[in-house]
Amino acid sequence: MSRLDLNEYLDDAYDPQGPRVPRFRPRKRSQHAVLDEIAQHNPLQVLGADEAFNPTLGASRHEREWIFTFLGPFYEGAYIKDVVRRIKGGKEANVYVCQPHPSLDLDLLVAKLYRPRAVRNLRNDARYRAGRTVLDANGKAVTNDKDLHAVRKGSSYGKELSHTSWLAYEYRALVALADAGLPVPQPVTIGSNAILMEYIGELDMPAPALNETSLNRALARRVFDELVDAIERMLGLGVIHADLSAYNVLFWDDRPVIIDFPQAVNPWQNKEAWDIFARDVTRICQHFTKYGIHTNPIQMARSMWDRQSPTPPMDALAIEREEAGEQL
């Protein structure tokens, strides 16, 4: 039986908001032929059978096949019992609330399901990949010369490897940070195109993002201090979020929870790490100015960097002078 290229077909066929007329390349077949072949390759065999994975989430045919293909293995592995709600849909990933298997001591789980090769939609992704090794689905470094050449060449197979590596880095960052007690969702497992983790919020009330939340000044001060502390501790563990803002911080039970780490960089491996780190700190500081919390974000970032990592690159000094309004 020939291997079905899910990255090739589903990436065009799937619409997170519902069915539409897919834009297939000339060599592709109709959507019905594609979905029929997916069903033939599906390890769960008869989709929707009583003894098989049968999520209660109402979804279009495309989305349902998407869930069967990439979240079905979590069911087979006794991680989830059901997929009950979609709480976020986008160009890069969908986020689903799942009922956990009784063996797990968690009330609810969330599955972050990426579109195949969604990373190609991220602008300037090479900036974040700099210094990274390529990881396989098990989080181990890829050493095969042919595979690495495919990644450098940007072939279809190479893009698939890059996509897998992108997910592996996010999962690895979550594991390291959660183990250290940082305010991130507890990761559970990783699969093909999906990461399963702790759900923050209630079934009918997902935790809002910090930018959607209004705080009193005392609480804002505490949350700000907690985030600054988390940013520095993350830096000490070799993790810079690299896209940190109030949009990527959830707020629940009066506590911040940092999410979305696929682009995280290592401060000792990425030559642009200082600039990326300073940007993260600046965005968080800017958000809290509305609560009367005024800081010098570049000075704050520099102090954290000096305490946790080697001397910043020379262009960091230029950034500081520019922030101070000096003539370069």
Position 270 scores a pLDDT of 85
Query: Per residue of the chain (328 residues), what is the pLDDT tens digit?
Result: 333 333 333 333 334 444 333 332 333 333 334 334 334 434 444 333 346 888 888 878 888 888 998 999 999 999 999 999 999 877 778 999 999 999 998 899 999 998 765 444 444 566 666 556 666 666 676 666 666 666 667 667 666 656 666 678 889 899 999 999 999 999 999 988 899 999 999 988 999 999 999 999 999 999 999 999 999 999 999 999 999 999 999 999 999 999 999 889 888 888 889 999 999 999 999 999 999 999 999 999 999 999 986 554 434 434 444 444 433 3
Contact 267, 316 (CB under 8 A): no
- Sorted by where each starts, the structural domains of the chain and their CATH numbers stand as 6-198 (3.30.200.20), 208-323 (1.10.510.10)
Active site residues: 243, 260
Query: pTM for the whole thing?
Result: 0.74
Position 280 scores a pLDDT of 97
For tokens 């979905």, what's the residue? 35
| SS3 of 296-311 | CHHHHHHHHHHHHCCC
Position 302 scores a pLDDT of 94
Phi, psi of 285 (to 5 degrees): -60, -40
Position 192 scores a pLDDT of 81
Cα dist from 120 to 32, 134, 150, 260, whole Å: 26, 16, 15, 16
Position 28 scores a pLDDT of 37
The structure tokens listed for 244 are 């940190």
The structure tokens listed for 52 are 């098989």
Residue 181 burial (C-beta neighbours within 10 Å; 0-12, 13-18, 19+): exposed
Position 134 scores a pLDDT of 65
Position 42 scores a pLDDT of 43
State the Cα–Cα distance between residues 166 and 271, nearest whole angstrom: 19
